[in-house]
Structure formats: structure tokens, C-alpha cells
């Protein structure tokens, strides 16, 4: 990831990722990939037809809640892709030639509530992706943070008053996620703004299908057995991924098609996407299968332990 792209260029790359994913030959795709293609189409339509028609993504009415996890990364790729389409559609309506237009955003408004003690590998993944995706990351830590998320967002809104809506990578299978809606107001005990949740219908397997296809870097913790990332003190690798307890059938990699067809794929470079120097992590890899071997949503948080 040496050469630095602009926000417009990375948005165009994300558009390339989604459009090539949608064109993958149906005949050779598994049912799971087909199902993920439908999920991509649905999320794309939420952004283009329901969200960007009400809130302008190009003038800081929309912010993005980002914590470096797989779900918000997938949603960020889809958001950037839709942003590119939205921008190109605007240009087509313009009387001026495409050459006279510049992508109007330099940075994407993003907010990270960093109150947990975060894994070093996640911290460095976040910094790397902040550069790669041109996020103007607001971090509450810099302001000395309180304990609850709602008041952190209250302060964010005070400091960023143009924000009307925030994109969140929550899914129906998350705790309390069952009844959420794609577009809804925050609850009454939260500061009032619109929640945009266009990833609700995705399941765990869809997330891995698309992320492994994307060719984008993936937080190395997932490679070493983690499936859901909380703080350092309350997160362990997922016990269902312990090599000694996994059945032979579940030891087969289900995303070979995605990986072999992934954007920019080469057999030599693929592991660079989740490379780490952290010896503790590498050691875990001997005991645990990668996070993407676990496909059942209800087991996703089995590595989250209660603080004693
Ligand atoms: P995760 O998979 O960890 O997170 C789901 C998504 O939440 C992520 O993809 C990311 O987009 C966002 N997110 C999670 N943690 C962070 C973080 N530390 N910093 C930035 N973004 C993060 N709950 C209510 O009960 N009522 C509400 O009105 C309400 N409004 C919310 C508004 C926003 C903008 C956010 C981010 C959360 C809100 N929540 C609300 C809480 C939300 O429903 C989830 O409980 C919360 O995001 C934690 O998710 P998780 O850890 O269960 O799952
Ligand atoms: Mg999640
Ligand atoms: Mg979380």
C-alpha cells in the first residue's frame, strides 16, 4: 500500500471493488457469494436511493462511526463506492466536461469513541486505514473521555454542528440489533440525530465474503482467531476456532472463490493484507483458525468475556 491515493481515487477503487464483485459469474459462485451480491445491491440502493437523496454526503451532513472493525470497514467500502457513483451521476447532469470536475471532498468526517483499552494491532490498523481512506477521524480520547457513548456523541455534535446523520455498521444479529431500522432517529436517552444503518441485513458470512474479495487490508487480529473486537481486557480469540475443537468439515476454507478472484490478487501477496510483527498474535495462529472460518452469527461474540 505504498502509493498514496486521494479520496476520489480510493472511492473510485471501492466502486471498482463493488462493481466487479457484482459481475462475478453466477454459474461459478457459491450460494453464499450470490447471497452477498444481493446484500451489496441492497446496501448500495439504501445509500443512493434513500440516504443521499435526503442528506448530502459531500457537505458534511453525514459522518461515519468507525472503530476499525470488519463491519464498519465493509460498510465504509460500500459507502465510498456509493459516494463515487453519486458524484459521477452529478457530473453527468452537469453541462461541463468531466475533466473540469474535481472530487469535492478531501477527507471523510469520521468519529471513533476510543474509551476501551484498544489492542495495539487494532490501533495501528486504524491509523493505517485513516490514511488509506482519508478519514478525518475525531477521537474522543483527545478530549478526555467520559464513560458512555451517548455523551461522547453529544460532544461530537457540539463540535461538528453540521452533522445531521451518522452511518453505523451495526447488524441485526448484534446485541439489541434485532428491531433496528435502516434509517431512524436515536433513542430518547441519546443526543438526537439520524442513525443510518444500511448493513443490518448482512450476516457474518456476507461480511467475510465481501471483505476477502475486496483485496483491502484486514485487521490482523481476525487472522489470528478473533471474530469480534472489544477492549484488550475483555476480548480473547474465539474458543470455537480452537483448532483442536473444530471439525474437519469446518476446517475447510469457504471463501476460496472470493480470495482467488479478489481485487489485485496474487498468491505471494495475499497474506500481506493481514501481516503483523506482533509475536503474541503470531503464536495464537498456531492454536486458532482465522476469524473467517467461523460463519455462525450466534457464535461471533464467544470471545467476548465479562470483566471480573
Ligand atoms: P460493533 O460491531 O462493535 O459495532 C457496530 C457498529 O457501531 C460499528 O460498525 C461502528 O459503526 C459503530 N461503533 C461501535 N463501536 C464504536 C466506537 N467505539 N466508535 C465509533 N463507532 C463505533 N444505542 C442505543 O441503544 N440507542 C441509540 O440511539 C444509539 N445510537 C447510536 C448512535 C451511534 C452513532 C452509534 C455508533 C451507536 C449508537 N448506539 C445506540 C449503540 C449501538 O446500537 C451499538 O450498541 C454500539 O454501536 C456498539 O456496537 P457493538 O459493540 O454491539 O457492535
Ligand atoms: Mg460488529
Ligand atoms: Mg463493539
Contact 276, 284 (CB under 8 A): no
Q: Cα(156) to centroid of ligand 2, in Å?
A: 22
Q: What is the DSSP string of 97-137?
A: -GGG---S-SSEEEEE---S---HHHHHHHHHHHHHTTEEE
Q: What does the DSSP assignment read for 177-214?
A: -TT--SEEEPPTTS---EEE-TTTT--HHHHHHHHHHH
Q: Minimal CA–CA distance to 170: which of 158, 178, 162?
A: 178
Phi, psi values for residue 135, rounded to 5°: -90, 135
pLDDT in tens, the chain (308 residues): 556 899 999 999 999 999 999 999 876 678 999 999 999 999 999 999 999 999 999 988 999 999 999 999 999 999 999 999 999 988 887 777 776 678 999 999 999 988 778 899 999 999 999 999 999 988 877 555 556 899 999 999 999 999 999 999 999 999 999 999 999 999 999 999 999 999 999 999 999 999 999 999 999 999 999 999 998 989 999 999 999 999 999 999 999 999 999 999 999 999 999 999 999 999 998 999 999 999 999 999 999 986 44
Residue 49 DSSP code = I
Q: Which ligand is nearest to the CA of 72?
A: 1
Taking CA atoms only, the protein residue closest to ligand 1 atom 42 is: 170
Q: Is the four-CA dihedral 16, 21, 26, 27 of positive or negative sign? A: positive
What residues does each domain of the chain span? 7-196, 204-299
**Distance (Å) from CA 175 to ligand 1 centroid:** 10
Torsion angle of C-alpha atoms 289, 172, 80, 106, degrees rounded to 10: -100
- CB atoms under 10 Å from CB of 110, counted, come to 23
The string of DSSP codes covering 74-104 is HHHHHHHHHHHHHHHHHHHHSSS-GGG---S
- CB–CB of 193/186 below 8 Å? yes
- Its CATH architecture, for the domain 7-196, is 3-Layer(aba) Sandwich (3.40)
Task: Tell me what ipTM this predicted complex has.
Answer: 0.98
Helix (H, G, I), strand (E, B) or coil at 304: strand
Is the CB of 67 inside a 6 Å radius of any atom of ligand 1?
Answer: yes
Cα(94) to centroid(ligand 2), Å: 39
The phi, psi pair for 231, rounded to 5°, reads -80, 165
Burial class (CB in 10 A: 0-12, 13-18, 19+), 234: middle
CA distance 264 to 77: 16
Amino acid at each position: 500500500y505504498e502509493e498514496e491515493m486521494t479520496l476520489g481515487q480510493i472511492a473510485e477503487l471501492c466502486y471498482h471493488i463493488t462493481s466487479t464483485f457484482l459481475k462475478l459469474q453466477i454459474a461459478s459462485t457459491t450460494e453464499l457469494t450470490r447471497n452477498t451480491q444481493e446484500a451489496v445491491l441492497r446496501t448500495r440502493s439504501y445509500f443512493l436511493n434513500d440516504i443521499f437523496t435526503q442528506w448530502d454526503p459531500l457537505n458534511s451532513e453525514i459522518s461515519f462511526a468507525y472503530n476499525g472493525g470488519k463491519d464498519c470497514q465493509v460498510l465504509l467500502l460500500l459507502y465510498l463506492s456509493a459516494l463515487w457513483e453519486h458524484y459521477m451521476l452529478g457530473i453527468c447532469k452537469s453541462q461541463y466536461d468531466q475533466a473540469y470536475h474535481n472530487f469535492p471532498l478531501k477527507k471523510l468526517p469520521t468519529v471513533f469513541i476510543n474509551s476501551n483499552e484498544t489492542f495495539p494491532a487494532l490501533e495501528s490498523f486504524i491509523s493505517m486505514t485513516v490514511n488509506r481512506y482519508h478519514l478525518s477521524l475525531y477521537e474522543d480520547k483527545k478530549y478526555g473521555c467520559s464513560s458512555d457513548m451517548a455523551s461522547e456523541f453529544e460532544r461530537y455534535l457540539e463540535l461538528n454542528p453540521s452533522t445531521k446523520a451518522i452511518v453505523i455498521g451495526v447488524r441485526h444479529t448484534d446485541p439489541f440489533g434485532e428491531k433496528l431500522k435502516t434509517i431512524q432517529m436515536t433513542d430518547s436517552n441519546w443526543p438526537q440525530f439520524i442513525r443510518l444503518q444500511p448493513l443490518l441485513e448482512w450476516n457474518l458470512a456476507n461480511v467475510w465474503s465481501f471483505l476477502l474479495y475486496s483485496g483491502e487490508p484486514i485487521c490482523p487480529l481476525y487472522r489470528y482467531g478473533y471474530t469480534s473486537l472489544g477492549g484488550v481486557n475483555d476480548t480473547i480469540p474465539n474458543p470455537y476456532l480452537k483448532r483442536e475443537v473444530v471439525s474437519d468439515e469446518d476446517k475447510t476454507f469457504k471463501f476460496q472463490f472470493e480470495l482467488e478472484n479478489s481485487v489485485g490478487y496474487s498468491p505471494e501477496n495475499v497474506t500481506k493484507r493481514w501481516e503483523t510483527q506482533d509475536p503474541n498474535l503470531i503464536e495464537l495462529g498456531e492454536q486458532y483458525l482465522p476469524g473467517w472460518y467461523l460463519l455462525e452469527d450466534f457464535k461471533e461474540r464467544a470471545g467476548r468475556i465479562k470483566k471480573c
